[in-house]
Amino acid sequence: MKLNIITAAVMTTGLAMYASSANAAMTTDGHGNVGYDSYDECVTAVKDGSAKFYTPYTYQNPKRQAGEATVKKMRLSEVMIPQSVVNSNSLRTSDYSAGACDLGVGQSNGRYGVSGALVGKYVPIAADMPVNVYMDTAGNPVRLTMQQCDNHFGSKFPTPVVSEVEAPEAQVAITEVRTMEPVIVETTRVIRPSKFSIKEVIIAPSDQVKRVNTAQGTAVAIEGVNRTVIVGEEADPDIIDNIEIDQTFPVKRVPDTNP
């Protein structure tokens, strides 16, 4: 009899837990979007695959606010939350790889949030939702909105869902007998001649050398006596480092034209 009572009690508790999980408080608005009473209920629905992610139903172009220099279109999962926001909000992750559970809010600053029925509820946001990423002059993200409607989230960054990371499988200790054998490696080094050679060297005062960038590289013009101009190509460091001087070449010296 005692065993039956204990079994019944366990079964009753299990049914109660199942009913609580299956009947998590959920609100549905007139557009089919849903919200949950708590963040934890929203996260549970996202992780067990039962959540219906929010779908915008209006259209509105992006609108920058004070301090926002640019706006970029991205997927939510591509956004990294600034560390300052992570610290100030005690977030457990800095990415949206698992999406977000955002606290629904209404209209502010000329932009809508979620429908009235979901204000105050936690709304599941998919990781692949297109978003507007507003950035400061340094290119750092400062605010996110839903891309299609430019509707804002509960704060400048919606609260992320922490992605589940599977623990690595336990490693089984295996005793192995290993033998060490010497290995002889032969290396043959081939030395190829330099691919560059010196045609001539021009020595000129630095203030008479002018450099101009062209499609073929950097052109160098040197003004000599009687305002004659010598035009050539400048050797970059890679060429200079690979020259082997084993040849003769003419040296041309340009006199200083300054008095």
- Quick one: what percent of the chain has pLDDT higher than 90? 52
- Can you tell me the mean pLDDT for 70-97? 95
Nearest-5° angle of CA 81, CA 87, CA 93?
Answer: 50
Amino acid (1-letter code) at residue 240: I
- Quick one: what percent of the chain has pLDDT higher than 70? 64
| End-to-end CA, the chain | 120
- Can you tell me the mean pLDDT for 88-112? 94
pLDDT value, residue 59: 95
Residue pair 161/43 in contact (Cβ under 8 Å)? The answer is yes
217's torsion region: left (phi>0), alpha (psi -120 to 50) or beta? Answer: left
CA 21 remoteness from chain centre = 36
Domain boundaries, the chain: 26-146, 201-253
Residue pair 93/160 in contact (Cβ under 8 Å)? The answer is yes
- Per-residue pLDDT of 128-174, as tens digits, reads 999 999 999 999 999 999 999 999 999 999 999 998 654 445 555 55
- Burial letters 53-67, b for 16+ CB under 10 A, else e: bbebeeebeeeeeee
Q: Which of 17-31, 60-74, 99-113, 170-184 is predicted least confidently?
A: 170-184
Higher pLDDT: 258 or 243? It is 258
* DSSP-derived pairing of the beta strands 201-203 and 34-36: unpaired
Higher pLDDT: 41 or 4? It is 41
pLDDT band at 14 (very low <50, low <70, confident <90, very high): very low
Nearest-5° angle of CA 54, CA 52, CA 13?
Answer: 135
Read off the tokens for 247: 């040849």
Q: Is pLDDT at 216 greater than 90 in this prediction? A: no
State how far the Cα of 89 lies from the Cα of 160, in Å rounded to an integer: 11
SS3 string, the chain, reads CHHHHHHHHHHHHHHHHHHHHHCCCEEECCCCCEEECCHHHHHHHHHHCCCCCCCCCCCCCCCCCCCCCEEEEEEHHHCECCHHHHHHCCCCCCECCCCEEEECCCCECCECCCCHHHCCCEEEECCCCEEEEEECCCCCEEEEEECCCCCECCCCCCCECCCCCCCCCCCCCCCCCCCCCCCCCCCCCCCCCCCECCCCEEECCHHHEEEEEECCEEEEEEECHHHCEEEEECCCHHHHHCECCCCCCCEEECCCCCC
pLDDT value, residue 78: 96
pLDDT value, residue 7: 39
pLDDT band at 124 (very low <50, low <70, confident <90, very high): very high
Residue pair 21/90 in contact (Cβ under 8 Å)? The answer is no
